[in-house]
Homo-oligomer: A and B are copies of this chain.
């Protein structure tokens, strides 16, 4: 759904290709159903391939590995995300400044509305 989720998922898979869906869902703080949905989306985009060979010791389940185009996509998303986050950061700075002024104003006239 969100591309925040997509990005986080790609990020996770890049470092940890052999994690099961339940654990991935828990780590990203989303439901199993949603994770499965996102994963299928990444796979159908050709960014992730589900190799059905071994998960380390245990032979069950898939290993979800980024394809070359998945790696490129992750790079693009990383940069896009950096920019977005910096913008958020600056806006948050603004909001905080405004809030600080409001709090300051409150402390100037602390008795207003009390009894």
List A residues at the B interface (Cβ < 8 Å): 68-69, 71-72, 75, 78-79, 81-82, 85-86, 88-89, 92-93, 95-96, 99-100, 102-103, 106, 112-115
Contact = CB atoms under 8 A, between A and B. Distances in A.
Interface of A is mostly: helix
Contacts of A115: 68
Given A82-B103, A85-B96, A86-B96, 11 more contacts: A68-B113, A68-B114, A71-B112, A72-B114, A78-B106, A79-B103, A82-B96, A82-B100, A85-B92, A89-B89, A89-B93
How many subunits of this chain does the assembly comprise?
A: 2
A95 B100 contact: no
A78 B103 contact: yes
A11 B70 CA distance: 44
